[in-house]
Amino acid sequence: MSDTKDNKTIMKNIRDIGLQKFLAPAALVILYVFFGIFGRNFFSYSTLINILDSSYYIGFIAIGVTFVIITGGIDLSVGTVMMCAAIIGGTAYKSWDWPMWLSLILILVIATAFGFFNGIMVSRLSLPPFIATLGTMMISMGVGSIVSNVRSATYPTRSNADGWFKSIFKHISEDGTSFPTGALVLLVVAIVAWVILTRTKMGRYIFAIGSNKEAARLSGVNVQKWEMMAYVVSGFLAGIGGIAFAAVYTTVMPAQGQGFELYAIAGAVIGGTSLSGGVGSVFGTLIGVYIMSVLRTGLPSMDLQAHYQTFFTGVVVIGAVLLDIYRNKKASEVKIPSKSDLYKSEMLEKIRTLKSSLSGADGVKAGSLRAEIDAAKREMKKGYAHLKQEEKNLKHGLAED
């Protein structure tokens, strides 16, 4: 009986958190195996490198967006902010003769400043996050084009001495073998973000704000401060994403980046972050990002055009949101235990007490306790069935009335 109850408890826990911790990893494995079987040369080292390369910059901004979505907000500007910061950093290096290290710092400063601007508008000026970040999206696109004079920014190649930062995200040995060091950088950033969300005051307050902003305020949480910090983190990680993009693709075009925020939000949602706020996981977001990257790489291996990836990503996002709605609906349901359920709980507790007494009993007493346990089980089975039948008859009677 105890084993049966334990199994039911395990299954309930799986149902409660399955969207985030079971379904997303399972979907990633299934997709990878599927494309490996039906795709062309998908199970290859070069394909794995391509999957990882296309995940870095989206992964960074997706982690930042996760912070914002957990607060119950949204950040539509991360993609254009990332590219705006990258093109200004490239312009500083190419046209203003800044050293590379200072240009990279400029990328982080500009992206963080945009995040701070978003946080001010949402937390202090009470603008709806959708409108505030949509405006910032347009502003960042314009700023990047204005500063670069609508010219592309070209970062130095790997062979150039100033291209040292490219090895942070991909190391190429002398024999031409690529090593995805950027995956380690992304993992380190994810671990730091996970620690912040799960082990610090900032993380607790961000979850509290997303769960119930008014309750958090009444509990003494400085809602404005910590809500703003979520947007600052999103902006800072957009800066890291901009550096990663420059390291992988070298050339940054003006007014680029629109649409990247949708992939970041999709990655967070697929990974189990609730658009209602209060629920989210950094590692779940990473899995969601890799799911989209596998789709983006796997579909061409089956001779399908790139727009199929957009279609299937949309299908996956809608499915993830529907599952999130179902999860929230089930979590908000208040289940009132019936008389039969209460009776069963009482009898199970009685049986557990008898079993605990059995461990220290001698031969005669142990036999008596075993008989008492068997009798309690029979009584529970009979009494529970009787009460369930009464409830069923009462329900049918009320329905007929």
* pLDDT per residue rounded down to tens, the chain (401 residues): 444 444 444 445 445 444 456 778 888 899 899 988 988 888 888 888 888 888 888 999 999 999 999 999 999 999 999 999 999 999 999 999 999 999 999 999 999 999 999 999 999 999 999 999 999 999 999 999 999 888 888 899 888 888 899 989 888 887 778 888 989 999 999 999 999 999 999 999 999 999 999 999 999 999 999 999 999 999 999 999 999 999 888 888 887 888 899 889 989 988 888 888 888 899 999 999 999 889 888 888 888 776 777 787 788 778 777 877 777 776 666 566 778 778 888 888 888 887 877 776 677 777 787 888 888 888 888 888 888 888 777 776 655 55
Phi/psi for 154 (5° steps) reads -110, 120
Domain membership of residue 6 (yes or no) is no
pLDDT at 389: 82
Count the domains in the chain: 2
- Write the CATH number for 78: 1.10.3470
pLDDT at 51: 87
In this structure, the answer to whether residues 324 and 342 fall within a common structural domain is no
Domain membership of residue 162 (yes or no) is yes
Which amino acid type is present at position 338?
A: S
- Nearest alpha-carbon partner for 83 in 109, 107, 52, 117: 107
In this structure, the answer to whether residues 258 and 380 fall within a common structural domain is no
In this structure, the answer to whether residues 230 and 355 fall within a common structural domain is no
Residue that is last in its domain, among 291, 316, 332: 332
In this structure, the answer to whether residues 242 and 385 fall within a common structural domain is no
pLDDT at 400: 57
Residue that is last in its domain, among 303, 332, 361: 332
What distance in Å separates the CA atoms of residue 313 and residue 306, rounded to the nearest whole number?
Answer: 11
In this structure, the answer to whether residues 276 and 309 fall within a common structural domain is yes
β-bridge mates for residue 251, sequence order: 154
In this structure, the answer to whether residues 386 and 313 fall within a common structural domain is no
Largest CA distance in the chain: 93
Task: Note the Cα 362 to chain centre separation in Å.
Answer: 54
SS3 content of the chain, % helix, strand, coil (to 5): 75, 0, 20
What distance in Å separates the CA atoms of residue 169 and residue 176, rounded to the nearest whole number?
Answer: 15
What distance in Å separates the CA atoms of residue 61 and residue 86, rounded to the nearest whole number?
Answer: 13
- Nearest alpha-carbon partner for 378 in 341, 350, 338, 342: 350
* Structural domain harbouring 63: 13-332
pLDDT at 192: 97
Residue that is last in its domain, among 277, 309, 332: 332
Q: For residue 98, with 0-12 CB atoms within 10 Å meaning exposed, 13-18 middle and 19 or more buried, which class applies? A: middle
Domain membership of residue 299 (yes or no) is yes
In this structure, the answer to whether residues 230 and 342 fall within a common structural domain is no
Domain membership of residue 2 (yes or no) is no
pLDDT at 96: 92
In this structure, the answer to whether residues 376 and 243 fall within a common structural domain is no
In this structure, the answer to whether residues 223 and 367 fall within a common structural domain is no
In this structure, the answer to whether residues 178 and 87 fall within a common structural domain is yes
In this structure, the answer to whether residues 112 and 166 fall within a common structural domain is yes
pLDDT at 82: 95
pLDDT at 334: 57
Domain membership of residue 8 (yes or no) is no
In this structure, the answer to whether residues 134 and 164 fall within a common structural domain is yes
pLDDT at 335: 62
